[in-house]
Structure 1
Amino acid sequence: MKELTLETLFAVFEEIFGRGLFWGMVAAAVIVTLAYVYVLVRDRSMSMQKFLLAQLSMPFGAVLAVWFVMFMTNSALSDIGGPVDVIVLLGVAGMGAVGIAILVYTAQSLMRGSSET
């Protein structure tokens, strides 16, 4: 592999997660992102109470994301081979933390409505 392209990344992720699960995760991410933008436009501001609860969920999202990737790749923490592996796992944890925070904030806003602060 001489260069890293978007098609290569899609092929690698489809190989790791399976075609259906990977594209299902992409579709879920797009839906949650659109719902988050809808909530922000509808409410015209962020609720700090909802944001705090979303932030409190971030460690759980980080751990779940790392566990999910390790489960799908059939590996363990003892398989970490070097700095690049640590950087990748930190990236996965970061994306999981941000993803769950957005999901929790959006779910709270959609369930409780825009009248609460």
Structure 2
Amino acid sequence: MKQLTFETLIAVFEEIFGRGLFWTMVAVAVVVTLAYLYVLIRDRHLSARKFLLAQMFMPLGAIASVIFVQRVTHSSFADIGGPVDWIVLLGVAGAGAVGTAILVYTVQSLTKGRQTAE
């Protein structure tokens, strides 16, 4: 593997997670992203209260994403070896934290409806 291409990354992720699970995660991410964009366009501002609550869920999302990846890949924390493994693990935790914040904010906005500034 001399070059890292988009197709290579897709193949690696399909191998790690399995084709069905990987594409299901991609579909869920697309739906949540579109819902988040809809909420931002509809409300035309970020609600500080909703954003604060969403941030409070970030540590749970980070932990859940790391545990999810550990379970799906049949790995354990004892398998973590070098610095690259730690960087990947922190990347997974960061992505899980941000994804959870976006999901929580979107769910709050969609269930509570549009909030006015009054």
TM-score interval (norm. to shorter): over 0.9
Amino acid corresponding to residue 74 of structure 2 in structure 1 = N
CA distance in 2, matches of 1:115, 1:79: 47
* 1:52 correspondence with 2:52: yes
CA distance in 2, matches of 1:91, 1:74: 18
Amino acid corresponding to residue 62 of structure 2 in structure 1 = A
Amino acid corresponding to residue 60 of structure 1 in structure 2 = L
**TM-score if structure 2 supplies the norm length?**
0.96
Query: In the TM superposition, what whole-angstrom CA distance separates every residue of 1:32-59 from its partner, at most 9, and x where no partner exists?
Result: 0010000001001111110011000000
Amino acid corresponding to residue 69 of structure 1 in structure 2 = V
Structure 2 SS opposite 1:33: helix
* 1:78-93 correspondence to structure 2 within 5 Å: 78-93=78-93
Following TM superposition, the consecutive aligned residue runs of length 4 or more in structure 1 with deviations greater than 2 angstroms are none
CA distance in 2, matches of 1:66, 1:13: 15
RMSD over aligned Cα, in angstroms?
1.0
Structure 1 SS opposite 2:29: helix
* 1:26-41 correspondence to structure 2 within 5 Å: 26-41=26-41
**Relative to 1, partners in 2 of residues 1:74 and 1:116: Cα closer, same or farther, differing over 3 Å?**
farther
Instruction: Give the structure 1 partner of residue 17 of structure 2.
Output: 17
Shift of 1:116: 5.7
Shift of 1:3: 1.1
Amino acid corresponding to residue 8 of structure 1 in structure 2 = T
Instruction: Give the structure 2 partner of residue 72 of structure 1.
Output: 72
Shift of 1:115: 2.2
| Number of residue pairs the alignment of both structures matches | 117
Structure 2 residues not aligned, in runs of 5+: none
CA distance in 1, matches of 2:82, 2:72: 20
Structure 1 residues not aligned, in runs of 5+: none
